Structure 1
Amino acid sequence: MVKYWPNQSGFDLNNQVANLFFNTKQKFLDDLSNKTSNNLYLDIIDNATRCKLFSIVLLELELLILDLVELDLNLHNLKLLNRKILYDLIQKSLSRFLYGLKFKDNRISLSKSRNKYCIKILSLEYELLLHSLLIYLVFGSSSVSRFLFAFDNIYTPKQHVSLLLENTLVQISNAVLFIIIDNIQSLSNIVTFLITNQLSDSLYMSLRYIAFFRNSLLYQSVLSFYINQPKEIYSSQYKVWLISSKGLVIKYIYASRLHNFLSLSSIKRTYIFLLEVQDLILPQLESIFTLFGKMLLYFFINVLGTSIVFIIRAIIYGFRVFYRSD
């Protein structure tokens, strides 16, 4: 039986939010390794550190919810503060994670990495990443746009809200690791940071590994920003990260992304145009190749086959004539 998220703010919503946060935190005790082919900056730290970082982000999100309730913001004001809320959540999670570490560097901050692809992707997807989640947690499902997801907002499954929360935790945590690595820059300092603070297995730490790891993620971020994300927007899809019993996995959900489409750059729209051309031409090409294949098969079976039979008969006839002449 499907259980639905509360429609309005009140005792029932507060109780569901508390249960949601508790159940989510329990998942941190499971394996948190990445089980997909998509790389994460989180992959560079061990399971215990991921658990610590997820717990920090969850705590900052709890404090954010309490602040929003105390400020008594309405939906309009919440939308006006959308990206500021996102950046504040990332920065506070970053500061709390760095607090108490042996490797000190006060220069590490979000402001120096805000224009990088990893943060740009989060900024573009803010409404699906955090804004909708905050509305569910503070105002209830009735305040979420009824056209955003594939179901009536009044009948929002609890599992859907849980999915959005887990995705936010993974993506914010990943952004925190990205900012640290991006700010440190020096390969030797990154290795020092990870080993000194015992954030990763030192057996796998080397300058070559770190260089390969960072370059792979940079390539993936560029590919995602210019290719994968526009394709997902065009297909009304949103990629979410889930914390399963086996580790971190990916799932695609339907989401109306018209507002994202309108904000795409000319380069991304050009890629979408090429996708439309592909969708138009490929079926026609498939039909042509299928027809050509059938004609080729007909040729081999009938024309070539008949020719082979004729040649065999001619050879047999030739042998008969030869033996008779003897």
Structure 2
Amino acid sequence: MIIKYWPNRQSINLNNAVVDLFIETEKKLILKTDNQSQQYLYLDILNNITKTKLLQLILSEFKELILDIIEVNLNARILIKLNKKIVEIFIQRVSKNFFTKFNIRISNSHKNRFKHISSNFTNYLLIYLIFGSSYIEDDIFLFETLYTPYNHVKVLLENFIIHIGNLVIKQLIYNLNNCINIKKFLKKQNICNKLYASNRSIILFLNNLKWQNFVQSYIYDIKSFYNERHKVWIISSEGINSKYIYLSQGEKIQSLNQIKIIFLFWLELKDLLIPKAEKFFIQIAKYFLYCSINLLSNLILILLRIIVFYLNK
């Protein structure tokens, strides 16, 4: 199978690759957007029609964002520096266009909850689409930057779309404030997933999300950090799914809080001690088994001799 690589610099080939990527992603969004990942998403509370429309809106707005950035003619360094602000404004624009249909206004207090959403993946995606792969630092991913697979950029785009969609609906849920308002709004607008049509099911859904986010933040994210893997959302033939890709995390250690650093230290200690402990206990078990077999065989031998002695007598 021939691997298709992403163009490494600004050119007509890069423009064509971006157009092909957007067209391919549009087609995938039409096919299926069911959550098959075994994890909860805020998007799950929407029915499939509304979920697909939201993801399509995000893709459409993202096209405009790319064109706007190209028109402004930002260089790669400035683009990376402004990444957080760009993504924040992008989410506000998507939210405004999506919520306007339902006559909802998002308060500033809820907007502030989502200022932390920017990630390195957004940086990389924008650079790939605008400047090409040669502007990505070496040793970030497993492959050389000049040989970046086309499918790698496709995964980053799909992950971005689903991630933004999830945050937009999270914003909606926070804005509605409680499960009664959420239920009334979803039913009134006819956009509710039938699985979450009752107050009880909505409460259970939100509690599961809170617990999942807590575990994700304090356990799985640290393990992923330690293993230099990052979870991404993809659009497969079955629907929305997740996978892990390699991502160098060397520079992020300073951003971890004390609890996460302790957990990271425990993982290091575990990897150092457990193999030795396992080896020690296996050796002890072998000796114990050996001694037990010898003792049992000697007892059987003594018992047989006693029986023979009494029979002869």
> How would you bin the TM-score normalised by the shorter chain?
over 0.9
Q: 1:196 to 1:155 in 2, by over 3 A?
A: same
Unaligned runs of 5+ in 2: none
The answer as to whether partners of 1:90 and 1:110 remain within 8 angstroms in 2 is no
C-alpha displacement of 1:22: 0.4
Aligned to 2:253: 261
Amino acid at match of 2:297: G
User: For residue 219 of structure 2, what is the aligned residue in structure 1?
Assistant: 227
**C-alpha spacing 1:248/1:316, structure 2 compared with 1 (3 Å):** farther
Distance 1:74 1:111, change over 3 A: farther
Q: Distance in 2 between matches of 1:244 and 1:62?
A: 21
SS at match of 1:105: coil
What is the identity, as a one-letter code, of the residue corresponding to 1:239? K
Closer, same or farther: CA 262–226 of 1 in aligned 2, 3 Å: same
CA distance in 1, matches of 2:53, 2:135: 32
Question: How many angstroms does 1:178 deviate by?
Answer: 0.8
Classify 1:90/1:299 alpha carbon distance in 2 versus 1 (closer, same or farther; 3 Å).
same
Q: Identical aligned pairs, as a percentage?
A: 38
Matching of residues 16-55 of structure 1 within 5 Å: 16-55=17-56
**Contact 1:113–1:182 (8 Å) recurs in 2:** no
Sort the Cα spacing of 1:299 and 1:75 in 2 relative to 1 into closer, same or farther, 3 A. Answer: same
- 8 Å contact 2:8–2:146 — kept in the other structure? yes
Match of 1:90 in 2: 91
Task: List aligned pairs for 1:182-193, cutoff 5 A.
Answer: 182-193=174-185
Deviation at 1:234, TM superposition (A): 2.2
TM-score (norm 2): 0.94
Could you list the per-position Cα deviations for residues 49-86 of structure 1 after superposition, in whole angstroms to 9, with x for gaps in the alignment?
22111101101110110000000000121112111111
Contact 2:229 2:244 in 1 (8 A): yes
Secondary structure, aligned partner of 1:253: strand
Paired with 1:313 and 1:51, the residues of 2 have a C-alpha distance of: 82
Q: Deviations over 1:213-268 (max 9, x none)?
A: 11111111122222222221222111111100011121111111122222212221
Q: Would you say 1:248 and 2:212 are equivalent positions?
A: no
Which amino acid letter does the alignment assign opposite residue 176 of structure 1? Answer: V
| Counterpart pick for 2:164 among 168, 172, 184 | 172
Give the match for residue 68 of structure 2. Answer: 67
Q: Which structure 2 residues correspond to residues 175-214 of structure 1 after superposition, within 5 A?
A: 175-202=167-194, 204-214=196-206
Q: Does 2:110 align with 1:112?
A: yes
Q: SS at the partner of 1:250?
A: strand
**Structure 1 residue 201: Cα displacement:** 3.5
**Aligned residues of 1:87 and 1:110 also touching (Cα < 8 A):** no
Q: Is the 8 A contact 2:4 2:150 kept in 1?
A: yes
Could you tell me which amino acid in structure 2 is paired with residue 58 of structure 1?
L
- CA pair 293-5 structure 1, distance change in 2 beyond 3 A: same
| Moved beyond 6 Å, runs of 4+ | none
| Gap change, CA 1:93 and 1:315, over 3 Å in 2 | farther
What SS is found at the alignment partner of 2:35? coil
Residues 183-208 of structure 1: CA distance to partner in whole angstroms, max 9, x if unpaired? Answer: 21211100112111121244641111
CA-CA distance at 1:295 after TM superposition: 1.6
CA distance in 2 between counterparts of 1:203 and 1:43 reads 9
Compared with structure 1, are the counterparts of its residues 113 and 293 closer, same or farther at alpha carbon in structure 2 (3 Å cutoff)?
farther
**1:78 aligns to what?**
79
Tell me the CA shift for residue 113 of structure 1: 5.1
Distance 1:43 1:110 in 2: 25
Aligned length: 312
Give the conservation status (yes or no) of the 8 Å contact 2:28–2:235: yes
Shift of 1:110: 6.8
Given that residues 242 and 249 in structure 1 are in contact (C-alpha distance below 8 angstroms), is that contact kept between their aligned partners in structure 2?
yes
In the aligned structure 2, how far is the partner of 1:228 from the partner of 1:281? 21
Q: 2:153 maps to what in 1?
A: 161
Distance 2:28 2:280 in 1: 52
Counterpart contact for 1:241–1:249, Cα < 8 Å = yes
Distance in 2, matches of 1:274 and 1:113, equals 36
Q: Please, which runs of 5 or more residues in structure 1 have no aligned partner?
A: none
1:145 Cα shift?
1.0
CA contact (8 A) 1:91 1:109 kept: no
Distance 1:31 1:312 in 2: 74
Give the Cα–Cα distance (whole angstroms) in 1 for the partners of residues 194 and 246 of structure 2. Answer: 41
1:309 is matched with: 301
C-alpha RMSD of the superposition: 1.7
1:133 corresponds to = 125
* Structure 1 equivalent of residue 231 of structure 2: 239
